[in-house]
Amino acid sequence: MSLQLGSIAPDFEQESTHGTIRFHEWAGSSWVILFSHPKDFTPVCTTELGAVANLKAEFDKRGVKPIALSVDDVDSHKRWSVDIEETQRTKLNYPILADVDRKVSGLYGMIHPQASDTLTVRSVFVIDPNKKVRATFTYPASTGRNFDEILRLIDSLQLTDSHSVATPANWKDGDEVVIVPSLQDPAVLAQKFPKGYNAVRPYLRLTPQPNR
């Protein structure tokens, strides 16, 4: 199954290191990043889980709940958590789903048969408070993910949801943004963007980030 952007993220009930997770209920009104790992006690995954734990305060500031997934069981996850905490010098402060029966992996299309029939790839799903999938991407097993980029992506989604803008290449929070092409009325533009804008081209109008 391949989830498209705008799809409702499938609900599920699955065991985790934080007990039974009923996904939609657990997510509540928060944003969520759901990210999968090939298996426990693997080196790249260990660094990734530690990286997210170290960034937990940044996710909290944005109203985002992280949740990881691996196809091993809860006891294995708990043993692995000790290694993660010791080697990455952090407390594992979010749940890891124990997807032994591959139920969640199947719902979210995390198993790619040409890569492996049994192990999940490094998938990421960014899910908004309406339970809609807003972004998804997949890395190979050999490459660790950049979670600073995931934070940047969430910053962009949250900004563009609340203002009539888009974010240009390599944008970071605080940089100029692009006014969406559908806005053409001068009075509306003046109201929405009191700091003004630079029309590089009629379709490319840059303005200071409006919530700054």
* Residue pLDDT, tens place only, 120-145: 568 999 999 999 999 999 888 889 99
Please name which of 126, 125, 123, 78 lies closest in space to residue 98, comparing C-alpha atoms. Answer: 78
Q: Where are the beta strands (DSSP E) in 61-176?
A: 64-70, 96-98, 122-127, 133-139, 165-166
pLDDT value of position 121: 64
pLDDT value of position 116: 47
pLDDT digits (tens, 9 = 90+) for 55-113: 999 999 999 999 999 999 999 999 999 999 999 999 999 999 999 999 999 899 887 54
Token digits of residue 19: 């007990």
Catalytic option among 27, 33, 34, 45: 45
pLDDT value of position 114: 46
Cβ partners under 8 Å of residue 81, min gap 6:
17, 92, 96
pLDDT value of position 91: 94
DSSP string, 85-106: HHHHTS---S-EEE-TT-HHHH
pLDDT digits (tens, 9 = 90+) for 180-189: 999 999 999 9
The pair phi, psi for residue 133, each rounded to 5°, is -75, 120
pLDDT value of position 48: 96
Intervals of CATH 3.40.30.10 along the chain:
13-144
Q: What is the mean pLDDT of the chain?
A: 93
Give the C-alpha separation, 210 to 212, whole Å. Answer: 5
pLDDT value of position 119: 53
> For the structural domain made of 13-144, what CATH number should be given?
3.40.30.10
Confidence class of residue 160 from pLDDT cuts 50, 70 and 90? very high
For residue 56, the Cα-to-chain-centroid distance in whole angstroms is 12
Q: What is the pTM of this model?
A: 0.92
Give the C-alpha separation, 25 to 57, whole Å. Answer: 22
> Residues 32-45: what's their mean pLDDT?
93
Question: Is 54 assigned a catalytic role?
Answer: no
Token digits of residue 117: 């029939």
